[in-house]
Structure 1
């Protein structure tokens, strides 16, 4: 019996810096199956706020790869690069609330600080020392905008990992939401778009779990909807590192869609003991039913 959640809305949101690889397919398949198992919508969003990293040809590759693997999304593709006005409005609201400050710290200054005092590495990277929180940059100086996090423990429930908990001030620090050269940070664009698209369930790779408390903090500060989260297992290479475009992960071969899907399903713990003659739609139907049995929302 189908677990019906008519308000369910999930999404897959790749960065178009290159084609999808085996790790990307795990995230796409998991989010697709979760949406289908709950008779919900599954949208595609292209996270291309950073145009310097985005490749137009990669978008076409991603669309072709999804189609070849039977992962059909609902509605039109959403492009973050076309939604800058929405992010600017959110920045204006945060500034009005006193939660943003101007930061003119250069990489050289932060590097010198780290060399002299030791760099504190937090859950999502180096923790900002707080220079401009104490004395913000002048409005006429070239500056980035940083978000001032609350000094409290932030707890988020995850459908697979359980509770994800962080003391944001000491484990994350104040992140940049808009760089000095213009691009909007992933953190802000992500929470604004998830809200405005009506996303209720975020199913993505486990490498993004450490970002979740910050994203919830941002969403709640802005008065936006907070989705439910499910973080999926990662695919790692021979060196133990997560497969990614930055470490030259091999692009998916669309001629081997069935084999690719079986490998991804295996990472997700699904039954891959099927005959060689099974079609892609048959595989997806089978795994949708299995996913519903294992991961249905009550």
Structure 2
């Protein structure tokens, strides 16, 4: 059964890039006689707004997309994420981190470190809080938790490979190129990486269709799937919709918001033509 999804965050208006991703997934599901799901990524409660969620439903319906109801919301799944974190903690793969972004930046750019390295989450964590042995006791509450990448990889019999549009991808040296990623944030309970993996498994997602900007993150997701004994979907990372200067669109780019084009009298067919569908 072909099942895919579109999982926007209600932190601003959907733009042409969102329209392309959602319509591409919806078209593929229809072609495969499968299911297209809408999921709301609302972990960041400080930035999510109810009015933006309403706008998401309205814009997607206007584009002609349909999906089963009710939709899954990440804010309602915190106990599931916490349970997964507890399992990884018991495996000795997590540790609390008290570094701020400024701390990480200062350590990464220290003269003795050489050129700072960047990974899927930005600056690669220098390991400041990483303990020599796994921490004991209960999982800390309201603490940032990082995955000990070296220990995690050591538990696997084979690297976390995946298929991207039929091409096998085998990540190389994730300790150096990815680092110890955050799986739980102080203010959100879970990170995007952990939530998306658990949500895809819960919804039995067979195919993940998303932007090329998330291709580097996929190796993290496949690693977590292996650690948590979850299935790995087939991945398709599509091209990004960019402006006339080649810059990828962001939610703050209201000039290319779907709602703006609607207000100008454009049709869903116009939007499809604008994004190459």
TM-score of Structure 1 vs Structure 2, range by shorter chain:
0.7 to 0.9
Aligned residue runs from structure 1 range 77-226, under 5 A: 77-116=71-110, 117=113, 118-134=115-131, 143-149=143-149, 150=153, 154-159=160-165, 163=169, 165-226=171-232
What's the CA shift for 1:246? 4.4
* Gap change, CA 1:64 and 1:243, over 3 Å in 2: same
The offset of 1:188, in angstroms, is 0.3
**What's the offset of the Cα at 1:87?**
0.5
Answer whether contact 1:105 1:132 (CA < 8 A) is retained. yes
CA-CA distance at 1:166 after TM superposition: 3.8
CA distance in 2, matches of 1:183, 1:63: 26
CA contact under 8 A between 1:47 and 1:80: conserved in structure 2?
yes
After superposition, give the CA deviation of every residue in 1:3-56 in whole Å (9 maximum; x if it has no partner): xxxx21111101111121000011001111111111001110000111112111
RMSD: 2.3
Deviation readout 1:230-255 (Å, 9 max, x if unpaired): 11111112332211114556211234
CA contact (8 A) 2:96 2:143 kept: yes
Q: What does residue 286 of structure 1 align with?
A: none
Q: Evaluate the alpha carbon distance shift between residue 241 and residue 154 of structure 1 in structure 2; reply closer, same or farther with a 3 A threshold.
A: farther
What SS does the corresponding residue of 2:161 show, helix, strand or coil? strand
SS at match of 2:218: helix
| Structure 1 match to 2:272 | 261
Q: Provide the C-alpha distance between the structure 2 equivalents of 1:177 and 1:235, rounded to a whole number of angstroms.
A: 29
Q: How many residues align?
A: 260
Alignment TM-score, normalising by the size of structure 2: 0.86
Distance in 2 separating the partners of 1:92 and 1:163: 29
Q: How does 1:274-293 map to 2 (within 5 A)?
A: none
Q: Which residue of 1 aligns with 2:35?
A: 41
Structure 1 length-normalised TM: 0.80
Could you tell me which residue of structure 1 aligns to residue 4 of structure 2? 10
What residue is the counterpart of 2:53 in the other structure?
59
The separation in 1 between residues aligned to 2:191 and 2:30, in whole angstroms, is 30
Indicate how the Cα distance of structure 1 residues 245 and 183 shifts in structure 2: closer, same or farther if over 3 A, else same. Answer: farther
Unpaired runs of 5+ in structure 2?
A: none
Structure 1 unmatched ranges of 5 or more: 1-6, 271-298
**Contact 1:160 1:231 (8 Å CA) reproduced:** no
